[in-house]
């Protein structure tokens, strides 16, 4: 009986510890490279300048097909050395509003200073235990009405340290108003 009580107590401690340590990201912290979700193209251009490339495609968002503009910014060194094109920063727009931002560029990180190539320990020290994760990624939900979050793609290095290889900030349940721009 004592073993069963100790086991139940241990489970309760684990559950309480995990619920206390799970950190929701505030709306103010939901910035990547200075860009926040919902920002319009004019404001993004004021911060980032003209994109190096724009790709327009159709995507299914909230079970509707919408036109998406993907603005791509390459590392400035890519102009001289094409190998630097792998270090990019992308902003995805639907209805001129940013709904997803991705970075594989160590120059564009979170407002907390988390960048590509930072160790996983730095992320957990700032944000706490992730809300979701696996060997390849960890993710933190935001505390806003839009249900978004930050996802960190992980890479294990030859010395067994785990580092960030990419960062994504996105709205999970895209909050786009139903209007005349939306096609059935």
Distance CA 36, CA 150 (A): 11
Domains and CATH numbers, the chain: 2-171 (2.60.460)
Task: Look at the alpha carbons of 134, 106, 141, 54 in this order and tell me if their dihedral is positive or negative.
Answer: negative
Distance CA 128, CA 182 (A): 39
Q: How many CB atoms lie within 10 A of CB 49?
A: 9
**Strand-pair category, 64-74 with 88-94:** antiparallel
- The predicted model gives 102-130 an average pLDDT of 92
pLDDT of residue 59: 84
Q: Kindly tell me if the per-residue pLDDT of 5 is higher than 90.
A: no
Give SS3 for 128.
Answer: coil
pLDDT of residue 172: 57
* Residues 124-158: tens digit of each pLDDT: 999 899 988 888 999 888 776 556 788 999 999 99
Q: Kindly tell me if the per-residue pLDDT of 8 is higher than 50.
A: no
């Amino acid at each position: 009986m004592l073993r069963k009580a100790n086991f139940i107590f241990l489970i309760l401690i684990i559950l309480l510890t995990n619920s206390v340590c799970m950190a929701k990201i505030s709306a103010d912290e939901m910035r990547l490279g200075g860009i926040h979700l919902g920002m319009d193209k004019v404001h993004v251009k004021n911060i980032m300048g003209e994109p190096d490339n724009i790709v327009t495609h159709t995507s299914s968002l909230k079970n509707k097909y919408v036109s998406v503009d993907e603005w791509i910014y390459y590392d400035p060194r890519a102009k001289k050395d094409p190998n630097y094109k792998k270090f990019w920063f992308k902003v995805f727009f639907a209805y001129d509003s940013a709904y997803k931002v991705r970075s594989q560029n160590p120059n564009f990180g979170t407002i907390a200073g988390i960048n590509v190539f930072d160790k996983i320990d730095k992320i957990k020290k700032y944000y706490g235990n992730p809300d979701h994760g696996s060997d390849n990624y960890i993710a933190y939900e935001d505390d806003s009405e839009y249900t978004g979050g930050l996802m960190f793609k992980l890479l294990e290095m030859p010395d067994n340290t785990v580092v960030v290889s990419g960062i994504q900030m996105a709205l999970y349940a895209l909050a786009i108003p139903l209007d005349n721009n939306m096609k059935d």
